[in-house]
Amino acid sequence: WDLPRIVKAGWDDVRHTGATQGASTITEQLAKISFLSPERSLDRKVKELILGIEIENNFSKNQILEMYLNRVSFGNHAIGVESAAQTYFEKKSRDLDLAESSMLAGLPNSPVYLNPLDHPPGQTVNPNAKARQLVVLQAMVNNGDITRQQADFAYSQPLVFHPAGESEPPVTNFIVYLRAYLDQHFGDAYIKPGGWTITATLDPKKQAIAEKSVHDGIQKIYDRYNAHDGALVSMDPRNGAVLAMVGAWDPNNAGVGQLNMATRPLQPGSTIKVFTYTTAIATRRFTMTTPIVDGPIRLDDGSNSGYSPHNYDHSYHGVCPLMRCLGNSYNIPAVKTEAAVGIPTITDLEIAAGLTSLKDPKNRPKPNQFAATLGGLTYGVSPLEMADGISTIADMGVHHDPTPVVRITDASGKVLYALDAKDQGHRVIPANAAFIITEITSNDANRYAAFGPHGDLTLPDRRVSAKTGTTEFFSANWTLGWTPTLVNVVWVGNPSGSCLKPSDRNNPSVRARLGDSLDDPLSPADLSHYGLTPKDDHCGHLEGSTGITGAAPIWHAYMSQALADAPKDWYPRPNDVTATGPGDDAVFYLPGTTGPPPGTGAGSGNPDIAGGGCYYYGPTQDPSNPCRYVGGTAPSTSSPAQQSSPAPAPTANPPPGTP
């Protein structure tokens, strides 16, 4: 039976009978699945129509139908008609009978709802799928393709599904990413000739670990923190190979399983501080031990009130060396460092490292957009981009384009493409700066104050770098980390953007910290008492899941298992990096930057705050000189000052970058 013609008959019937709201032509569907993101909006619909016109002007109807059938999802991780025929019936599409063909033809309309394998106990097929099969058969009768008797006979036939269809690994998101990659790099060439063999970079063992880690991790916090989705991307930093990708915690969930969050731009929270401090060290204006005052600051961002960041715990921590400021993810020192180095300089490095979404002028931070180092971007960056950027640091500053493909051969066995094992990539970050930032983020002592020792950001008997991030009002959180051979990025959140709030909503620690007692839950009026404006009604709280409570356990579970049999290699110190101190107390410096010289840190007041002979050792600002702090002494490099003082009630939204 001609399966393409049957699919078309079923689709045309849906459109003519209005069975779906806003139904599209096959051409418009092809445009959507090939070029557009899956969200529903008027803007997306207009783009779909325009692209559909362009497609119809350049391809015949048969070509359009062929391209559509090779790209559309039939559910259960089957992309295209041949994959669907193999997945459900272990046959080639040309060998399907009318009953089997009409069953498959209806699935693209709603692959999750019509999943034939999702059936009640005692039945052999989903009743919704059987009802849809009847619609397809009726359409064929109406078109004159078959008789009523043939339709009735096909409908009455029992369907025997291929058992493996229920147990194949849920790698849909990776397949969609692979397809998009092939479209981008090879166009329709990989479909038109047929017979291509594509070897993917996906590591089945790591993929299985990733899926289980995400599923188990989200399941534990699903109700506790209203966290309903998660994503994970793992790469080999030495060549850019994507080893594992999870775009949804439950690919078969109709609510979240249809979106690949691994490739969608998302607010990155404090994870992006890694690039701020990498840039700072690369400029040689900062070192690991540059003392930075964690105290009040107001920067000119073009608004009437200026920009005044505050920390996650609404406290100040006195003077801390850069390595402790980064390790404990203090926001104010990060903003001061960002202002000193310059946002355009940091952004250029981020783009070069792999955060390519920042090329978009609407997403690229403005020179005075100081929330950028806390993750306050217009659109954000995807977990895949973040994995790419971190892989650049993990390969000591060398960038490799991410790829899902190892090799492509044609029907004759000719190699059309092969991942170059000797690819040297191109250097975008000095190796010495990448080494120092790796040393900072791999030393657990640098984060004791905020995270405590030996938590989920460490691995037993193995050194690893890690950094967390939490977005504004706890709407999502991240954890990323790396070794010389493996990078892993985890995101936890909700596609809708609703907040990850504590289930009990009592927030006793918040009340105690702010010295007030509030009726529960915290209302917008309650929050306005502290100068806070909730993102929406779901975000009326001051506490929720962070990177260390949400994404970190998933990251830890994956890294522990994925590296179980890997050598415990670590990075050799570059020849131009000097070291002082033993073991974990060692600090590292670039040439000419040894020691914490006064005037090279980040103070307060002037946006260009990295020079001018400023002093940064005291916790108290000298009112006669906004660049000078008094009342303290320079911290030692081995036991930095961790003075802590309470901050006043916050005067702006909770910071987008929290631990």
Residue extents of the structural domains in the chain: 3-168, 241-500+544-646
Confidence of residue 581 (pLDDT cuts 50, 70, 90): confident
Which one-letter amino acid corresponds to residue 25? Answer: T
**């594992």: which residue's tokens?**
244
| pLDDT value for 608 | 32
Contact, 411 vs 194, CB < 8 A? yes
Contact, 292 vs 600, CB < 8 A? no
- 430 phi and psi, to 5 degrees? -60, 140
| pLDDT value for 543 | 61
Q: Is the pLDDT of residue 2 over 90?
A: no
List pLDDT tens digits, range 179-199.
888 888 876 665 554 567 889
Extract the tokens encoding 331.
């926001």
**Total Cβ atoms within 10 A of residue 181:** 16
List pLDDT tens digits, range 99-139.
999 999 889 877 767 888 877 778 889 899 999 999 999 99
Q: What is the mean pLDDT of residues 567-595?
A: 88
Q: Is the pLDDT of residue 144 over 60?
A: yes
For 315, counting Cβ atoms within 10 Å of its Cβ (0-12 exposed, 13-18 middle, 19+ buried), the class is middle
For the chain, what percent of residues have pLDDT higher than 90?
A: 41
| pLDDT value for 567 | 94
| pLDDT value for 155 | 96
| pLDDT value for 82 | 86
Q: Is the pLDDT of residue 576 over 70?
A: yes
List pLDDT tens digits, range 249-265.
877 665 566 678 999 99
| pLDDT value for 600 | 40
The model's pTM is 0.69
Overall fold of domain 241-500+544-646: Beta-lactamase (3.40.710)
CA distances to 1, 80, 83, 134, 630 from 92, in Å: 11, 12, 9, 23, 78
Residue scoring higher pLDDT (503 or 288): 288
∠ Cα 520 523 527 (to 5°)? 110
Q: Is the pLDDT of residue 518 over 80?
A: no
Distance of CA 364 to the CA centre of its chain: 18
Q: Which residues pair with 481 in a beta bridge?
A: 466, 488
Q: What is the mean pLDDT of residues 550-560?
A: 95
| pLDDT value for 135 | 93
Confidence of residue 456 (pLDDT cuts 50, 70, 90): very high
Q: What is the mean pLDDT of residues 506-527?
A: 46
Q: Is the pLDDT of residue 21 over 70?
A: no
Q: What is the mean pLDDT of residues 524-538?
A: 51
Query: Any idea which of 207-216, 518-527, 586-595 has the lowest mean pLDDT?
Result: 518-527
Confidence of residue 239 (pLDDT cuts 50, 70, 90): very high
Crossing angle between the packed helical segments 3-17 and 26-35, to the nearest 10 degrees: 100
Q: What is the mean pLDDT of residues 28-39?
A: 54
DSSP collapsed to 3 states, 329-346: CCHHHHHHHHHHHCHHHH
| pLDDT value for 412 | 78
Contact, 554 vs 461, CB < 8 A? no
| pLDDT value for 614 | 37
| pLDDT value for 502 | 58
List pLDDT tens digits, range 611-654.
333 333 333 344 444 333 333 333 232 222 222 333 333 333 33
| pLDDT value for 419 | 87
Query: Any idea which of 415-429, 499-513, 570-584 has the lowest mean pLDDT?
Result: 499-513
Contact, 47 vs 57, CB < 8 A? no
- DSSP state string for 496-545: T------SS---HHHHHHHT---PSSPPHHHHHTTT---SSGGG--S---
Upper half-sphere CA count for residue 337 (Cβ side, 13 Å): 36
Contact, 264 vs 230, CB < 8 A? no
Contacts of 450 (CB under 8 A, 6+ apart): 312, 313, 327, 328, 329, 330, 659
Q: Is the link from the previous residue into 635 a cis peptide, with omega within 30 of 0? A: no
Distance, CA of 125 to CA of 116 (rounded, Å): 5
Q: What is the mean pLDDT of residues 18-35?
A: 52
**CATH superfamily placement of domain 3-168:** Biosynthetic peptidoglycan transglycosylase-like (1.10.3810.10)
| pLDDT value for 196 | 76
| pLDDT value for 650 | 30
Given its phi and psi angles, is residue 253 left (phi above 0), alpha (psi -120 to 50 degrees) or beta? beta
Mean pLDDT score across all residues of the chain? 77
Q: Is the pLDDT of residue 98 over 70?
A: yes
Given its phi and psi angles, is residue 47 left (phi above 0), alpha (psi -120 to 50 degrees) or beta? alpha
Q: What is the mean pLDDT of residues 50-71?
A: 72
Q: What is the mean pLDDT of residues 320-338?
A: 93
Instruction: Give the three-state DSSP class for 267.
Output: coil
Q: Is the pLDDT of residue 72 over 50?
A: yes
Crossing angle between the packed helical segments 3-17 and 98-106, to the nearest 10 degrees: 50
Query: Any idea which of 7-16, 71-80, 229-238, 296-305 has the lowest mean pLDDT?
Result: 7-16
| pLDDT value for 365 | 96
